[in-house]
Structure 1
Amino acid sequence: MRTVSVFDTTLRDGEQTPGVAFPLNYKIQIAKQLDKLGVDVIEAGFPAASKGEFEAVKTIANLGLSSKICALARIVKYDIDAALDSEADMVHIFISTSKIQIEHTIQKSREEIVRLAVDAVEYIKDHGRICMFSAMDATRTEIDYLKQIYKAVEDAGVDIINVPDTVGVATPFKFYDLIKELREHLNVPIDVHCHNDFGLAVANTYAAVLAGADEVQVTVNGIGERAGNAALEEVVMTLHGLEGIKTNIKTEYLVETSKLIERFSGIKVPPNKPIVGANAFSHESGIHAHGVLKDARTFEPGVITPEMVGHKRRIVIGKHAGRHQIKKILEDAGYQVDEERLTKIMEKVKELGDKGKKVTDLDLFAIAEVVLGELKKEEKAILVDEVTVLTGNRITPTAVINAEVEGKKKVTSAIGVGPVDAALNAVKELAGESMRIKLTEFRMDAITGGSDALAEVYVTVEDDEGNSFTARGAGADIVMASIEAVIHAVNYLMLMKKKKKHD
């Protein structure tokens, strides 16, 4: 079975995303996570760019990871020496080869560019390192010249060549033809690096592999210059799921890795992002949800499952929901619903959806309780009496909550990066060891304008068994609205747990 190598450039090209900068401690954590994920090569950075960049690459190169560590360098002795001194396993050199870039950037003759490339490769090989050569802007370079320079560096002993679509203008059929022609002309392994300016980075990378490329350059979540790079998770699962082409990626860590990069980069993953987005395995439509509850392959690709990538399947409530999914969600929470009451509950859910409201689990259960007359105040596991939050420019944000937890008085306190974080950490403390919870989603919308604006907070809370619950809180006090939403969610998770024990 064919295997393709994965070269991850999140720490180099990914960090070139406008507004993104990873401090050293983040870079170390990212490198360790990429190694855990199973990438073959980690491009750790551009050592000649700054002292900090040099130290970062050198630190990562000495972590003892299984992945090979690569350093980027221009075809300049200073850059190459910095890359060699960083102790990286591989040096990735590049020089412009397209007419427009030669004329407007490096202003050298084509013959001189070939000579510089050959000299650089020989210099790196003389130092016993793996060498990758990139013809920058390859997809806008005349094919004869591209073949000439790649053949010259191959003869000089280069280990692998990279074909970059630097400005994202390749299309899958044309890129396939280019890689196929180069594959027939060269003996060294071929690597590809695609940008996403026209949304074709993953498709171009996929086409290149079909044409004979041996390695793919990717970034987690597709971050990178301008519109980004080919997304690691999409490329890998396309190869695994649709072509049976393997990589060394441990796919069960894809969502975990995506969330780490989302957090460290500050770039939120859209819910509709393939493979790792919150909606990737979520179903609201009644027809879809009914089918998926019977057999997930009815309305999912089938060749991949949420578990394969570290995800979870979700049946979501909304105005498009059908009877089967509403009944299943209610029954899973311990509610017994006959057909007549189910119809009433569904009417209320659709009415809420028609008003443009996001229908949370809390909304569904609140509707069910009105119709069924089930949950009484005394059944709630946590009843909050008083909340005190301290914050200021010289005070670590601290929250103190007085509450009744399953009939017993309890006072808890916690700190956080801000008042909301501190308050939510205090709620986690209230829930205790028997109910370990984590906040997987937090969103706030202003309902009205002005400094006294009403805010609506949406949260998703997950327990240690993987059960999740969505809830909302609203009010002029953002901290209290957040606590209200999380307490609602925790109460229902605890109640569901209790009901399951009794059943």
Structure 2
Amino acid sequence: MESRKVVINDTTLRDGEQTAGVAFNWEEKLAIASALAAAGVPEMEVGIPTMGPEEREIIGAIAALDLPSRLMVWGRMCEADLEAATGCGAHLVNLSIPVSDIQLRHKVGRDRDWAIATISRVVPRALATGMDVCVGAEDASRADPEFLLRVAETAQRAGARRIRFADTLGILDPIATFERIRRLVDAVDLEVEMHAHNDFGLATANTLVAIQAGASHVNTTVNGLGERAGNAALEETVMALHQLYQLPTGIDVSRFGAISELVAKASGRPVAPNKSIVGEAVFTHEAGIHVDGILKNVLNYQGVNPKDLGREHRLVLGKHSGTHGVIQRFRDLGIELTEIAAAQLLRRIRLHANQTKRAPSTAELMSFYRETAASEPIPALPGLPDALTIRNQP
């Protein structure tokens, strides 16, 4: 991927809030917008003005913060939504219009000619408000490719700055995404923005491939919030751009943990422990061969550097641990173990893991140490090999 800057347009405050059951209050929206801006997110889609006076007031309050990020608002490609968006303090307006035949016919009861005429009429009126215009091509992934190019060419002639390719149902795979975006990039002189949904778990992958195909802007949400299965996650997209492709975004990834926690609390949607980048357990190691490798050289099992995120690797003891992990954990507690003592303790730790389904606490480890020192050897669990023979196996 050539060296260039990709612009992240985070839509946590719009599409993220459209997650079923999620509603951010005034204070939460201001806090999220401020946190994203402080992290260096260059653009944010912050709301839907046509929802009513309260929504417009909140958008105005975000604008009044005078954040360094450019603000976008969302509306349908019609005069009423444009009027609602005018005067909110946004720099850009995304005006969305269906471009697939199924949505044209069965959602708005219109045809392709209506879509072209509407774009030609509304975009110049939007430009007259002083906002830049993004034409949101809704359901672009199911649109006829030739018609989509006609939509893009019409948007360009009308004066739009950007076109948003929306994979509204999340049905594309990376190969199809590359082909669609590359064709669009080659056809028009517009900024091309990718809006990916995660219905098949491909939103982040499709977003990254869209950038490879030439997309200049991409939509993300914190923790992957959004309609149905959500959108491409901010933290995944940015970390992949930085570490896999060495593409700068200007975003401070060390703030992702705090932003993720803020959005999780505000949305009522807790983050899964194994959620990539921001999950509590993603830098936690238990398996013996992994712990042994980490202790020898952290690069043996490090794809993402936790220090970049203000975090560290964490070693825990459990059913799959080996004696090297036990020795290191007790060394951290100020106790040096022999291999034999470590093997005895490992049997006790495995028994605990099978019974409780969790790692032992420090107090429990000390209790096991005292028990083991004062007792007969602990037999291996039924059906499990002896600890000494599997100490460094996965």
Structure 1 length normalisation: TM-score?
0.72
**Alpha-carbon deviation of 1:78?**
1.9
1:123-163 Cα distance to aligned partner (Å, 9 max, x none): 12122211111111000000111000111111111111110
1:332-356 Cα distance to aligned partner (Å, 9 max, x none): 1222323332222111101212335
Question: In structure 1, what is the equivalent of residue 272 of structure 2?
Answer: 270
Question: In structure 2, what is the equivalent of residue 299 of structure 1?
Answer: 301
Question: In structure 2, what is the equivalent of residue 440 of structure 1?
Answer: none
**Alpha-carbon deviation of 1:100?**
0.5
- Pairwise CA RMSD: 1.4
**Alpha-carbon deviation of 1:81?**
1.6
Question: In structure 2, what is the equivalent of residue 179 of structure 1?
Answer: 181
**Alpha-carbon deviation of 1:94?**
0.5
Helix, strand or coil at the partner of 1:16: coil
Question: In structure 1, what is the equivalent of residue 161 of structure 2?
Answer: 159
Is 1:139–1:169's contact at 8 Å kept on the other side of the alignment? yes
Structure 1 segment 270-289 matched on structure 2, within 5 A? 270-289=272-291
Question: In structure 2, what is the equivalent of residue 370 of structure 1?
Answer: 371
Task: Work out whether 1:354 is the aligned partner of 2:354.
Answer: yes
Question: In structure 2, what is the equivalent of residue 446 of structure 1?
Answer: none
- Whichever residue aligns with residue 368 of structure 1, its letter is Y
Match of residue 103, structure 1, among 105, 113, 121: 105
Is 1:98–1:137's contact at 8 Å kept on the other side of the alignment? yes
**Alpha-carbon deviation of 1:221?**
0.6
Is 2:50–2:85's contact at 8 Å kept on the other side of the alignment? yes
CA distance in 1, matches of 2:227, 2:19: 5
Is 2:48–2:55's contact at 8 Å kept on the other side of the alignment? yes
Task: Work out whether 1:337 is the aligned partner of 2:337.
Answer: yes
Is 1:98–1:141's contact at 8 Å kept on the other side of the alignment? yes
Question: In structure 2, what is the equivalent of residue 10 of structure 1?
Answer: 12
**Alpha-carbon deviation of 1:328?**
1.3
Shift in CA distance, 369/50, structure 1 to aligned 2, threshold 3 Å:
farther
Is 1:166–1:195's contact at 8 Å kept on the other side of the alignment? yes
Structure 1 segment 313-328 matched on structure 2, within 5 A? 313-328=313-328
Helix, strand or coil at the partner of 2:219: strand
More strand by share: 1
Question: In structure 2, what is the equivalent of residue 30 of structure 1?
Answer: 32
**Alpha-carbon deviation of 1:45?**
0.4
Is 1:254–1:310's contact at 8 Å kept on the other side of the alignment? no
- Whichever residue aligns with residue 291 of structure 1, its letter is G
CA distance in 1, matches of 2:152, 2:218: 18
Structure 1 segment 102-501 matched on structure 2, within 5 A? 102-301=104-303, 304-362=304-362, 363-371=364-372
- Whichever residue aligns with residue 288 of structure 1, its letter is H
Question: In structure 2, what is the equivalent of residue 432 of structure 1?
Answer: none
CA distance in 2, matches of 1:236, 1:170: 21
Helix, strand or coil at the partner of 1:45: coil
Is 2:13–2:45's contact at 8 Å kept on the other side of the alignment? yes
**Alpha-carbon deviation of 1:255?**
1.6
CA distance in 2, matches of 1:370, 1:38: 53
Question: In structure 2, what is the equivalent of residue 499 of structure 1?
Answer: none
CA distance in 2, matches of 1:356, 1:172: 42
Aligned residue pair count = 371
Structure 2: where are the runs of 5+ without partners? 375-394
CA distance in 2, matches of 1:323, 1:331: 12
CA distance in 2, matches of 1:149, 1:339: 70
CA distance in 2, matches of 1:8, 1:203: 16
- Whichever residue aligns with residue 310 of structure 1, its letter is G
Question: In structure 1, what is the equivalent of residue 77 of structure 2?
Answer: 75
Is 2:319–2:354's contact at 8 Å kept on the other side of the alignment? yes
1:192-239 Cα distance to aligned partner (Å, 9 max, x none): 000011111111111111111111101011010001001111111112
CA distance in 2, matches of 1:20, 1:9: 14
CA distance in 1, matches of 2:213, 2:10: 21
After superposing the two structures, state which structure 1 stretch, 12-21 or 82-91, moved more. 82-91
Is 1:256–1:310's contact at 8 Å kept on the other side of the alignment? no
Is 1:61–1:89's contact at 8 Å kept on the other side of the alignment? no
CA distance in 1, matches of 2:370, 2:93: 64
CA distance in 2, matches of 1:208, 1:273: 23
CA distance in 2, matches of 1:142, 1:84: 32
**Alpha-carbon deviation of 1:246?**
1.7
**Alpha-carbon deviation of 1:249?**
1.2
CA distance in 2, matches of 1:210, 1:266: 34
Higher relative contact order (CA 8 A, sep 6+): 2
Helix, strand or coil at the partner of 2:278: coil
Q: Which protein shows a greater Rg?
A: 1
CA distance in 1, matches of 2:39, 2:255: 6
